[in-house]
Amino acid sequence: MSYRALYRKYRPLTFEEVAGQTQIVQTLKNALKENKIAHAYLFAGPRGTGKTTMARLLAKALNCQNGFGHQCNKCESCIAINEGTHPDVIEIDAASNRGIDDIRDLISKIKYSPVLGKYKVYIIDEVHMMTTEAFNALLKTLEEPPANVVFILATTEPYKLMPTILSRVQRYDFDKVSDENILEKVKDILVKENVAFEEDALKEIISLADGGVRDTLSMVDQAIVYSDMNITMSSVEELFALTSKDDKLKLLLAIQNEDVAKLNVLLDGFVSRGVDIRRLTSDLLLMLKDLLIYKITKNADLIHYIRKEDCEKLLFKTKEINGFIDVLINLTNQFKTVNNPRSLFEISLLKMVSLSQQEQVEIVKPIVSVNKEPTKAVETSNTGLNIINNVDFSSTKEIVDDGHKIEFTNEDILNIMVQANKEHKNKLNQNKSVLDRLLTIPNVGKYVQVLKSSDAAIVSLNAIIYVSRFSDNVNKINLKENQIIFSKIHQAMLGHQVTIIALSFDKYQEMINKFKNLSQLSKLPAPHKIEIDTKLVQEESSTQKLAEELLK
Ligand SMILES: Nc1ncnc2c1ncn2[C@@H]1O[C@H](COP(=O)(O)OP(=O)(O)O)[C@@H](O)[C@H]1O
Ligand SMILES: [Mg+2]
Ligand SMILES: [Zn+2]
């Protein structure tokens, strides 16, 4: 016995056997019941979702000898339609019979009454492929269709049809069939075929087919042969060059461990197995989406693509996962423009590694008193974007160049200088990239610009002295009105608040000399709490407001 492809063998023989498309089935059944038959139908939708099947079912229902609307599959008419030999049901594939002659031929016969049944049914597949002349000939017929003729036009590309056609047909839009509906169908078929299977393996195939039943069944056919009547996950992965969930988990773990060498080994393995990088990317996105859901909800019922145990192994923070998702969505968009996605994919993985590194930069925890050992306060925490997101810049207004000056003495400056240390300065420099990100925030950018054109000369844990050759910068930094926002910017960089003051270059030189002299004399002040008042008191701000009002 010759082998028949599953999708042919299991073409639905009744409306009830159709998977999904429930609204279409219901509407057609109702129309048949009420005998409201249109002259022309358009079945539009993705391939392998049941358009041709539905067209044949409708043809059977119109002509069944065991009752109008039935599909008995036993009468002469039904059997002939199932076998493709019915004299009144004519299927034309516009993709191959495109010529005007074919349509003329068809039209010339249209006036003859049906031979066997009640209706002549013309099923024109891929109707958008017809030549313009053929189209126009068809259009004439659609304008004045003979009685007892039903046209069923099918297309995967309805937007290519002329409005003159669209306006003359009753249109039905076929959806992709849901994975659940397909799964049910496939399991049914495999039981009938005596094929063993792992349900996850079927799900994997179904997800590859993206809502197409025919594609699913074709792949199942291949899997039956490849896996010798037992469809397992590993056979499906091998056959379709898929990455397993374990592979993808390994990839994410390598990112977590910043193990670039391992990433390369994994990637080489994928490429040599012919893995589809685009698909791998979309799989990773699904996995990260689930991971994010799990991190937020801790509810394992809400995740499908990744196991709970695996979620526990991945220690990324939600912000990092968000960052990864951004990178991969970006990558997906870039895929459209390249032939070989491998190097783009590689770059994106490296980006993900560096994103997770950024999240782990050490920062100094704010401490109130300088007498505490600062090293004890060092801990791993979030900086960068994370902090930017946590700092509220919403109260920010335009930068002010006139207002209340922060007052500080030489003693205050020396106190900061004795507490200055390289470690703090390095930390600030490491997080300079935060400034570039803040540069684009409205109203914040101007403050950032001031800092970028000044030099953070002296950096202690709780205070930073900026030096600038521009008096305008010095002035802006030293205004109480601007202190809140400068402080917030530093919070974004360092994770805690600091006092910010500025010196002109000359003043700075003067203080450096003073510091040196005192140092030689061992007369530097002992470090003590920095008590520079940077707060704008309510009265001051209201007096200022009053002054502004009066000056208007
Ligand atoms: N909705 C569906 N329900 C059940 N089987 C389907 C469905 N859609 C497609 N199939 C299967 O795929 C095969 C091809 O379907 P077909 O109706 O020719 O798709 P289309 O015309 O939309 O490309 C059918 O023989 C059947 O086995
Ligand atoms: Mg078809
Ligand atoms: Zn019948």
Quote the mean pLDDT of the chain.
85
Alpha-carbon distance values, 496 to 159, 371, 463, 486, 490 (Å): 57, 18, 11, 12, 7
Average pLDDT over residues 204-228: 92
Average pLDDT over residues 454-474: 89
- Whether 552 is in a domain gets the answer no
| Helices and strands: H and E segment counts in the chain | 26, 12
Candidate from 49, 81, 173, 180 with most ligand 1 atoms within 8 A of CB, to mutate: 49
The whole-number pLDDT of residue 401 equals 77
Same domain, 489 and 412: yes
Instruction: Tell me the pLDDT band of 80, cut-offs 50, 70 and 90.
Output: very high
Domain boundary among 309, 330, 358: 358
Ligand 1 pocket check for 496: Cβ under 6 Å: no
Residue nearest to atom 11 of ligand 1 (CA): 214
Instruction: Tell me the pLDDT band of 545, cut-offs 50, 70 and 90.
Output: low
Question: In 10 A of CB 279, how many CB atoms?
Answer: 15
Candidate from 214, 215, 219, 220 with most ligand 1 atoms within 8 A of CB, to mutate: 214
Q: Number of folded domains in the chain?
A: 4
Same domain, 405 and 517: yes
Instruction: Say yes or no to pLDDT of 208 above 70.
Output: yes
C-alpha 186 – ligand 1 centre gap (Å): 12
- Sign of the alpha-carbon torsion through 537, 541, 544, 546: negative
Instruction: Tell me the pLDDT band of 93, cut-offs 50, 70 and 90.
Output: confident
Instruction: Tell me the pLDDT band of 368, cut-offs 50, 70 and 90.
Output: very low
- DSSP structure string for 429-477: HHTTHHHHHHTTSTTTHHHHHHHHTSEEEEE-SSEEEEEES-HHHHHHH
Range of the domain at 25: 6-173
The whole-number pLDDT of residue 378 equals 32
The whole-angstrom separation of Cα 201 and Cα 236 is 6
- Whether 366 is in a domain gets the answer no
C-alpha 28 – ligand 2 centre gap (Å): 18
Residue nearest to atom 16 of ligand 1 (CA): 50
Same domain, 25 and 150: yes
Same domain, 230 and 249: no
The whole-number pLDDT of residue 397 equals 67
Q: What is the CATH number of the domain that holds 218?
A: 1.10.8.60
Average pLDDT over residues 340-355: 88
Q: What is the pLDDT of residues 410-454, one digit of tens each?
A: 999 999 998 888 888 888 888 888 887 777 777 788 888 888 888
Same domain, 401 and 421: yes
Q: What is the pTM of this model?
A: 0.58
271-275-276 Cα angle (round to 5): 115
C-alpha 212 – ligand 3 centre gap (Å): 28
C-alpha 7 – ligand 1 centre gap (Å): 7
Same domain, 90 and 115: yes
Specify the amino acid at residue 356.
Answer: S
Ligand 1 pocket check for 51: Cβ under 6 Å: yes
Same domain, 63 and 154: yes
C-alpha 70 – ligand 3 centre gap (Å): 6
Same domain, 392 and 318: no
Least confident of 117-131, 268-282, 370-384, 388-402: 370-384
Percent of residues, the chain, with pLDDT higher than 90: 44
Same domain, 166 and 183: no
Query: Regarding predicted confidence, which is higher, 59 or 383?
Result: 59
The whole-angstrom separation of Cα 65 and Cα 74 is 9
The whole-number pLDDT of residue 524 equals 86
Instruction: Tell me the pLDDT band of 326, cut-offs 50, 70 and 90.
Output: very high
Least confident of 165-179, 437-451, 524-538: 437-451
Q: What is the pLDDT of residues 12-34, one digit of tens each?
A: 999 999 999 999 999 999 999 99
Domain boundary among 129, 158, 173: 173
Q: Which atom of ligand 1 is nearest to the CA of 154?
A: 21
Same domain, 388 and 496: yes
3-state secondary structure at position 202: helix
Instruction: Say yes or no to pLDDT of 539 above 90.
Output: no
Beta bridge partners of residue 405, listed in sequence order = 479
What angle separates helix 342-358 from helix 245-256, to the nearest 10 degrees? 50
Instruction: Say yes or no to pLDDT of 359 above 70.
Output: no
Same domain, 393 and 351: no
Same domain, 535 and 401: yes
